[in-house]
Amino acid sequence: MSDRAWPDNPPCPPSSVAVCMTNCPTLIVTVGLPARGKTYISKKLTRYLNWIGVPTREFNVGQYRRECVKIYKSFEFFRPDNEEGLEIRRQCASAALNDVRQYLAEGGGQVAVFDATNTTRERRETIIEFAEQNGLKVFFVESVCEDPDVIQENIVQVKLGSPDYTNCNTEEAVEDFMKRIKCYENSYQTLDEVLDRELSYIKIMDVGQRYLVNRVLDHIQSRIVYYLMNIHITPRSIYLCRHGESELNVKGRIGGDSGLTARGKEFAKKLAHFIRAQGISRLKVWTSQMKRTIQTAEALSVPYEQWKVLNEIDAGVCEEMMYEEIQDHYPLEFALRDQDKYRYRYPKGESYEDLVQRLEPVIMELERQENVLVICHQAVMRCLLAYFLDKTAEELPYLKCPLHTVLKLTPVAYGCKVESIGLNVDAVNTHREKPEVRTTTR
Amino acid sequence: MTNCPTLIVTVGLPARGKTYISKKLTRYLNWIGVPTKEFNVGQYRRECVKIYKSFEFFSPDNEEGLKIRRHCAMAALNDVRQYLSVEGGQVAVFDATNTTRERRGAIVKFAEQNGFKVFFVESVCEDPDVIAQNIVQVKLGSPDYIHCDTQEAIEDFMKRIKCYESSYQPLDEVLDRDMPYIKIMDVGRRYLVNRVQDHIQSRIVYYLMNIHITPRSIYLSRHGESDLNIKGRIGGDSALSARGKEYGTCLRKYIQEQNIKDLKVWTSQMKRTIQTAECLGVPYEQWKSLNEIDAGVCEEMMYEEIQEHYPLEFALRDQDKYRYRYPKGESYEDLVQRLEPVIMELERQENVLVICHQAVMRCLLAYFLDKTAVELPYLKCPLHTVLKLTPLAYGCKVESIYLGVDAVNTHRERPENVSVQRSTEAALKTVPAHF
């Protein structure tokens, strides 16, 4: 992206990733016994990288296997002496790698996450060779864990509901899965400090208690390591809501730094009741540095932290205007925004893409924390929500985040459960859908 | 960042980069706003034992030496307690070898008694070239070896290292599994990270994993003179003046002459830095976070106009230029926060030329030269001048290269009178000349 020379015209909005993350595509390869969180890590990492603007896709070999072998019978399929099983599994891995090559070479992908056990040095060698042939950098992510409680919890959370076990009861499923793990144990060759010292990898031990990081090669690997070292699996909930209705809201004006209306204050009180009723342990409360979120937090009578980066999107020259006025004064800009709401930057203001970049530290800290209530703004909340619910750049600017509604997000299995709680205080609607006609001559 | 203060404790044989890491980490933490101070036990020892005779002092059977060293460690810990509990410090870096489990146990106890969190940073390295380079860079010039020639100094220092080797107990995966620490191996080739407890430790780990010691230089420069510069107006997004374009050409010549290997060029997303980079004829990357400080309602005003329309704001800014935030704009403090990813990436990179803006350059310079929040907003960053920063020993060598193209002066010194009741004349006393 930095190879283009900009002429005297103003430069086009660049991608949100200001730094060239990587010159050649990266292949992330998971390593580990079943039920060690490889798929959880793969999906989460993929979601994070896409959100920060790095096109990433995961390739789960188990999925390929399920497509190939329509019905899963038992752990016997995974026995090391099951020649037919081994052949199928090898083919599935190859098919997945083929799709990886396609995605990275032609599909515009920058990172591919190859999610499989990859527990033997031989299998990993094959992958390294494949990467070399295709000009890819390889980074291994190994998860090692011997805590039976963690493994049990993993099985309950994500294996029981797997298509493999739709027709089994819990006991049968758990028993079969434990035997499945056993099939891999004998041939498991963990990444070794000496034998694998030339490889780039992170070894995650005991769900993040300890990490071994070897030969981080570039910026993207450094970011991946930082991210992986900040995530955890302790149960918790994240509460997202906007400030109470503001004076500018009722006037139909965007941006600004106005105070709460009477209804906004009522919302704040109801929010306080709601939070107390939830009985949340050690809740952290975050706001932006704008009056309306601070006033909302004040009503909770608990300590709260102000983050400047949680401030609403800067609408530049359109600050405090009504949409009608924007159409009046800047009809071209208004149309351009509707054409690409994610990348469009208000003159002297920001784009959603800019917002995501400035919200990244918030996401990182949210990952580290446990129970948090974030009182923010419409565009900001859309960006945060898009991260948790894996929404694309196209969907993000149109996510519905109405006033006076709390979204409770609870991580579950590989995703996030969302509960939408309206606190029954009326407010104006500030949501503007994508209009049908978006041409500049409309 | 953290509720209770943090005590960072270095661990490692001599010449493993502990002081380098301590000083760099301290500089970084202070820059991002976390009051941090380093306590180097070797310094305490030098104050106690005025003249260093030889490695014999460190011999494990030198009872007197051991007693003095224990005493110095205690004195340093006492000052740590003072700094963290009384003086408002948030992080203290206790820089010493701390190579025995016993010594580390004593420190952990000390921390527990005082309500500090402990985080160990161990540096392990057996590469003789790295160790030799370390000795040449920082030991030869040490007060300990002022009266020795190079040969003698190196010989003595190697024997000094030997004194520690037999009793060295590295942090152990099993025995120390409940301790929060990072073990840095072979100058960052490999890291072992254990039990990171909180946000600050996570940031410290991230920082330590991004720094390196490969020789390189960082070139800082502002954009060429702009049309708004000439008019004495701040902010905005104007193009280069004729002289500004000339600077671009001279910069190109300078860069070519320097013959820098694999130079990366970064600009902001404002016209004037991009136009400057265009003159170089090489690829460059644009960072929005390198954009100039947002002057909010004062954008594109002359200082005279700010005094006319916002005399109160103008005075408040002079009272605390670092923390003052323009209405609907930013403060230097905000700038530092948005520049942190730039600093992190500069640490990862090697040779880089950053073409940016006055306030931005002041923030970056303050990081490299360890300037305080008070000094930062008044650092001199004139137009048409390249600052070449080269890491050296524990700090940074600065070369200032003026490329010979005239430009207006945009540096406004802090006026004597910063009171909100001052006269217009007093307020505008230090405004630089403009058209």
Considering its fold, how many domains does chain B have in total?
2
Decide if pLDDT at B243 tops 90: yes
Decide if pLDDT at A15 tops 80: no
Q: Does B212 touch chain A (CB under 8 A)?
A: no
SS3 category, A116: coil
Residues A168 and A269 in one domain: no
Residues B389 and B308 in one domain: yes
Q: Would A436 be classed as within a structural domain? A: no
Q: Would B434 be classed as within a structural domain? A: no
Considering only CB atoms, A365 lies closest to which of B199, B287, B348, namely: B199
A229 and B202 in contact by Cβ < 8 A?
yes
Of all residues in chain B, the one with the smallest CA distance to A367 is B199
The reply, when asked if residue A16 is annotated as ligand binding, is: no
Q: Does A216 touch chain B (CB under 8 A)?
A: yes
Q: Would B1 be classed as within a structural domain? A: no
Question: What's the rounded Cα separation, in Å, for the pair A77 and B373?
Answer: 65
Element (H, E) at B94: strand B91-95
Q: Would A3 be classed as within a structural domain? A: no
Residue A20 is predicted with a pLDDT of: 45
B286 and A214 in contact by Cβ < 8 A?
no
Residue A21 is predicted with a pLDDT of: 52
Residues A302 and A381 in one domain: yes
Decide if pLDDT at B216 tops 90: yes
B192 and A209 in contact by Cβ < 8 A?
no
Residues B156 and B228 in one domain: no
Of all residues in chain A, the one with the smallest CA distance to B194 is A210
Residues B235 and B184 in one domain: no
> Are B388 and B399 within 8 A, CB to CB?
yes
Residues A49 and A175 in one domain: yes
Number of Cβ pairs closer than 8 Å across A and B? Answer: 82
Of all residues in chain B, the one with the smallest CA distance to A368 is B199
SS3 category, B254: helix
B199 and A14 in contact by Cβ < 8 A?
no
The reply, when asked if residue B222 is annotated as ligand binding, is: yes
A11 and B202 in contact by Cβ < 8 A?
no
Q: Would A433 be classed as within a structural domain? A: no
Decide if pLDDT at B382 tops 70: yes
- pLDDT category at A2 given cuts 50, 70, 90 is very low
A14 and B269 in contact by Cβ < 8 A?
yes
- State pLDDT tens for residues A373-401: 999 999 999 999 999 999 999 999 999 99
Residues A54 and A172 in one domain: yes
For residue B337, which residues of chain A lie inside 8 Å, CB to CB?
A: 308-309
Q: Residue B99 is part of a domain; what is its CATH number? A: 3.40.50.300
Considering only CB atoms, A19 lies closest to which of B173, B239, B285, namely: B285
Residue A22 is predicted with a pLDDT of: 55
Residue B431 is predicted with a pLDDT of: 95
- State pLDDT tens for residues A282-327: 999 999 999 999 999 999 999 999 999 999 999 999 999 999 999 9
Residue A119 is predicted with a pLDDT of: 97
Overall average pLDDT of the B303-326 stretch: 97
Helix orientation angle between A38-51 and A219-228, rounded to the nearest 10 degrees:
120
The reply to whether B147 belongs to the active site is: no
The reply, when asked if residue A249 is annotated as ligand binding, is: yes
The reply, when asked if residue B65 is annotated as ligand binding, is: no
- pLDDT category at B50 given cuts 50, 70, 90 is confident
Decide if pLDDT at A8 tops 80: no
Q: Which residues of A are annotated as catalytic? A: 243, 312
Of how many residues is chain B composed? Answer: 435
- The Cα of B118 is separated from the nearest Cα of chain A by a number of Å equal to 16
Decide if pLDDT at A238 tops 70: yes
Neighbours of A411 (CB within 10 A): 20
Of residues B50 and B286, which shows the higher confidence score?
A: B286
Residues A213 and A246 in one domain: no
Of all residues in chain A, the one with the smallest CA distance to B183 is A212
Question: What's the rounded Cα separation, in Å, for the pair A165 and A377?
Answer: 43
For residue B195, which residues of chain A lie inside 8 Å, CB to CB?
A: 209-210
Residues A263 and A175 in one domain: no
Residues B97 and B154 in one domain: yes
Q: Would A431 be classed as within a structural domain? A: no
Residues B316 and B402 in one domain: yes
- The Cα of B39 is separated from the nearest Cα of chain A by a number of Å equal to 28
Residue A14 is predicted with a pLDDT of: 37
Overall average pLDDT of the A335-359 stretch: 96
Burial of A57: CB neighbours in 10 Å, binned 0-12, 13-18, 19+: middle
Q: Would B133 be classed as within a structural domain? A: yes
Residues 134-193 of B with CB under 8 A from A: 173, 177, 189-193
- State pLDDT tens for residues A257-266: 999 999 999 9
Phi, psi of B395 (to 5 degrees): -140, -140
Considering only CB atoms, B210 lies closest to which of A20, A212, A222, namely: A222
The reply to whether B223 belongs to the active site is: yes
pTM of model > 0.90? yes
Q: Which residue out of B292, B313, B330, B340 is catalytically annotated?
A: B292
Q: Which of A216, A47, A360 is nearest to B205 (CA)?
A: A216
Report the mean per-residue pLDDT for chain B. 96
Q: Which two tokens stand for residue A134?
A: 């295709």
Compute the 3-state secondary structure of chain A and give helix, strand, coil in percent, each to the nearest 5. 40, 15, 40
Q: Residue B307 is part of a domain; what is its CATH number? A: 3.40.50.1240
Decide if pLDDT at A6 tops 50: no
What residue ranges in A361-404 does DSSP mark as E strands? 372-376
- pLDDT category at B393 given cuts 50, 70, 90 is confident
A1 and B285 in contact by Cβ < 8 A?
yes
- State pLDDT tens for residues B231-240: 999 999 999 9
Considering only CB atoms, A222 lies closest to which of B195, B338, B348, namely: B348
Q: Does B325 touch chain A (CB under 8 A)?
A: no
Neighbours of A122 (CB within 10 A): 9
Residue at a domain's end among B174, B209, B244: B209
> Are A59 and A98 within 8 A, CB to CB?
no
The reply, when asked if residue B300 is annotated as ligand binding, is: no
- State pLDDT tens for residues A79-129: 999 999 999 999 999 999 999 999 999 999 999 999 999 999 999 999 999
Residue at a domain's end among B209, B234, B254: B209
The reply, when asked if residue B339 is annotated as ligand binding, is: no
Question: What's the rounded Cα separation, in Å, for the pair B47 and A393?
Answer: 61
Residue B43 is predicted with a pLDDT of: 95
Of all residues in chain B, the one with the smallest CA distance to A255 is B328
User: What b-and-e string marks burial along B28-59, b requiring 16 or more CB atoms within 10 Å of the CB?
Assistant: bbbbbebebbbbbbbebbbeebeebeebebbe
For residue B284, which residues of chain A lie inside 8 Å, CB to CB?
A: 2
Decide if pLDDT at B168 tops 50: yes
> Are A252 and A322 within 8 A, CB to CB?
yes
Decide if pLDDT at A16 tops 70: no
Residue at a domain's end among B175, B209, B243: B209
Of all residues in chain A, the one with the smallest CA distance to B283 is A3
Quote the domain boundaries for residue B17: 6-209
- State pLDDT tens for residues B1-23: 457 999 999 999 999 999 999 99
- State pLDDT tens for residues A20-69: 455 789 999 999 999 999 999 999 999 999 999 999 999 999 999 999 99
For residue A308, which residues of chain B lie inside 8 Å, CB to CB?
A: 334, 337
Residues 6+ apart with CB under 8 A from A237: A280, A371, A408, A409, A410
Question: What's the rounded Cα separation, in Å, for the pair A55 and A104?
Answer: 9
- State pLDDT tens for residues A151-194: 999 999 888 889 999 888 999 999 999 999 999 999 999 999 99
Residues B80 and B229 in one domain: no
Report the mean per-residue pLDDT for chain A. 93
For residue B210, which residues of chain A lie inside 8 Å, CB to CB?
A: 222
Decide if pLDDT at B373 tops 70: yes
Decide if pLDDT at B264 tops 50: yes
- How much of chain B, in percent, has pLDDT values that exceed 90? 94
